[in-house]
Chains A and B, each alone.
Chain A
């Protein structure tokens, strides 16, 4: 890989593995502020939706997830899916770190072990060939 392309690829990966988890953490922070979700009747649902979408953290989270999604799509336009997908499995670990440091969530050792095994599992799933239905595809 040429050096400028490598720099572009790793910069995009960094954006993906930070903004994806940060988006989810911000949605979590926003929803904790919204509090109890009321769904008893249409009026309560509309009121809950208004509260959700007038919470700044929710919009910050959605903005992060849009940046994540656009970078993901851009990266896939020049990098292989079989390279990008496994590289992002670390996101589950980043989510745990961000929740711990930004939201002060307590993560038990068993939970850390579970997150580590999930990262490994996603790595194994992503590293296997994406096209497995044989050569008869019309695509």
Chain B
């Protein structure tokens, strides 16, 4: 159980931090408006020079391999629902690192997700 929880924390934590890093990195690249192949190549060359993007990719890869690892011994019907904790992690990360405002309705939804995750964890066969 402890190994499952640690790996799931990596899936959710590293996945969410990866998304936050990529989001932050892409903000420095700017909005992509022109989708011509030449411009897309130019965008890719700019993207791979941003340190946040590399940090984001590394974290996303960590999350993916943690997911594969936990799936090697735990049930999919337990693992995937528990990864919905990323909504809570995303809201906390957005509030703490990006200083975003989180509405009361959103906290209510996150509370529901968390209650559901607890039931999924305790409801083993």
Contacts and interface: CB of A to CB of B under 8 A. Distances in A.
Contact of A28 (B76, B101, B111, B120): B76
A116 interface: yes
B81 A92 contact: yes
Interface string B93-105: 0000001111101
Given A108-B125, A125-B109, A118 B120 contact: yes
Contacts of A111: 77-78, 119-120, 123-125
Given A24-B76, A96-B77, A118-B117, A125 B106 contact: yes
Contact of B79 (A28, A35, A126): A28
Contacts of A95: 76-77, 80-81
Nearest to B85: A118
Interface in A26-84: 27-28, 31-32, 34-37, 52, 58
B72 A132 contact: no
A99 to B, nearest CB: 4
Interface of B: 31, 67-69, 71-73, 75-81, 84, 87, 91, 99-103, 105-106, 108-125
> Which 7 residue pairs spanning A and B have beta carbons closest together?
A114-B119, A110-B123, A121-B112, A124-B109, A125-B109, A121-B113, A118-B116
